[in-house]
């Protein structure tokens, strides 16, 4: 097996895997977590200072589902979900405990979840996806615009899924080997180098329905994936200064996510726009 178990078509020309040292940029995740704590305390004090009847934010109409990244589960986006709820968004979990299985199977599971939420709420759903979760969200939005009104991707290398740090390749290779050994529910070779991988990749490049808004959040400081692969030309591109892992809870990123969800609720999505 080569140094990457993923198919070569997942790393098109013009993109590269971050260097071994690039992962050191992820150490700022501690600072970003601290910023979340400080911001959460400030917002809590502000809410307590308001009259009781004015403490709750107006409830957004469209529900929001959050999808975790590779190897992560819903708990990785718990802090973001909490803040969004405090701002009036009705958030839902993806029900993915650990994003380590076949991407198409994960997409099918999420699609069923979206159908249930849309039926319950009588409206389409907005999807926020971190890393791999964003790529899954984009694929579903291509297939099911009747369920998805907008997507927000966070550090999702849709244009080159294999443009990631070698440590992730090691993780993928481990999952493939375990799957080959008979462990169920894990990524198999087809998922990373076969027809399954090709379908997932093609859906990440396919055009979205005009009425599905799309915001792609990226960071030049990303130590896990090539940030250039996260900028879909059809999306509203938003640059942040956080680490890859920190996108899940950095207050500045959450602010941008909240703004993107508002744009989605208003049906505003200027494709190709850059927001710094």
Q: Is the pLDDT of residue 178 over 80?
A: yes
Residues 6+ apart with CB under 8 A from 181: none
Between residues 4 and 106, which one has the greater pLDDT? Answer: 106
pLDDT confidence tier of residue 2, bands split at 50, 70 and 90: very low
What's the confidence (pLDDT) of residue 122? 94
What rounded mean pLDDT belongs to the chain? 91
Residues 6+ apart with CB under 8 A from 129: 66, 67, 69, 135, 136, 137, 138, 151, 152, 153, 154, 156
pLDDT tens sequence across 24-82:
999 999 999 999 999 999 998 888 887 765 555 666 678 999 999 999 999 999 999 99
What's the confidence (pLDDT) of residue 6? 85
Q: For the chain, what's the residue count? A: 276
What tokens appear for 168 in the block? Answer: 């992730």
What's the confidence (pLDDT) of residue 15? 96
pLDDT tens sequence across 109-124:
999 999 999 999 999 9
Q: Decide: 229 and 159 in contact? Cβ < 8 Å.
A: yes
Residue 149 — φ and ψ, nearest 5°?
Answer: -95, -20
pLDDT confidence tier of residue 107, bands split at 50, 70 and 90: very high
Q: What angle do CA 206, 202, 8 make, to 5 degrees?
A: 140
120-146 burial code (b ≥16 CB/10 A, e <16): eeeebbbbbbbbbbbbbbbbbbbebee
* Arithmetic mean of pLDDT, 253-276: 74
CB atoms within 10 A of CB 37: 12
- % the chain with pLDDT above 70: 91
Question: pTM, whole model, 2 decimals?
Answer: 0.90
Q: Is the pLDDT of residue 276 over 70?
A: no
What's the confidence (pLDDT) of residue 4? 65
* Arithmetic mean of pLDDT, 132-152: 97
Q: Decide: 134 and 155 in contact? Cβ < 8 Å.
A: yes
What's the confidence (pLDDT) of residue 10? 94
What's the confidence (pLDDT) of residue 5? 75
Integer CA distances (angstroms), 128 to 77, 122, 135, 229, 264, in order: 10, 19, 10, 18, 11
pLDDT tens sequence across 219-243:
999 999 999 999 999 999 999 999 9
The strand pairing partners of 128, in sequence order, are 66, 152
What's the confidence (pLDDT) of residue 270? 43
SS3 string, 4-72, reads CCCCHHHCCCCCCCCCHHHHHHHHHHHHHHHHHHHHHHHHHHHHHHCCHHHCCCCCCCCCEEEECCCCC
């Amino acid at each position: 097996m080569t140094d990457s178990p993923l198919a070569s078509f997942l790393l098109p020309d013009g993109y590269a895997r971050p260097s071994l040292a690039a992962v050191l940029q992820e150490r700022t995740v501690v600072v970003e977590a601290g910023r979340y704590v400080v911001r959460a305390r400030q917002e809590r004090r502000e809410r307590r200072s308001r009259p009781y009847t004015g403490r709750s934010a107006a409830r957004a109409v469209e529900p929001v589902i959050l999808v975790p990244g590779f190897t992560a589960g819903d708990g990785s986006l718990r802090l973001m979900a909490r803040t969004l709820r405090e701002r009036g968004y009705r958030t839902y979990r993806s029900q993915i405990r650990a994003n380590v299985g076949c991407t198409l199977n994960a997409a099918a599971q999420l699609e069923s979840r979206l159908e249930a939420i849309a039926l319950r709420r009588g409206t389409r759903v907005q999807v926020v996806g971190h890393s791999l979760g964003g790529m899954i969200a984009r694929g579903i939005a291509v297939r099911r615009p009747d369920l998805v009104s907008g997507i927000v991707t966070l550090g999702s290398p849709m244009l080159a899924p294999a443009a990631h740090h070698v440590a992730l390749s090691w993780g993928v290779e481990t999952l493939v080997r375990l799957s080959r050994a008979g462990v169920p529910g894990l990524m198999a070779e087809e998922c990373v180098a076969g027809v399954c991988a090709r379908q997932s990749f093609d859906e990440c490049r396919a055009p979205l329905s005009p009425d599905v808004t799309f915001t792609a959040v990226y960071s030049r400081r990303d130590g896990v994936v090539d940030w250039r692969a996260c900028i879909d030309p059809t999306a509203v591109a938003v640059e942040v200064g956080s680490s890859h892992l920190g996108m899940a809870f950095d207050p500045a990123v959450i602010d941008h996510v909240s703004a993107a969800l508002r744009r989605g609720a208003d049906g505003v999505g200027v494709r190709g726009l850059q927001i710094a």
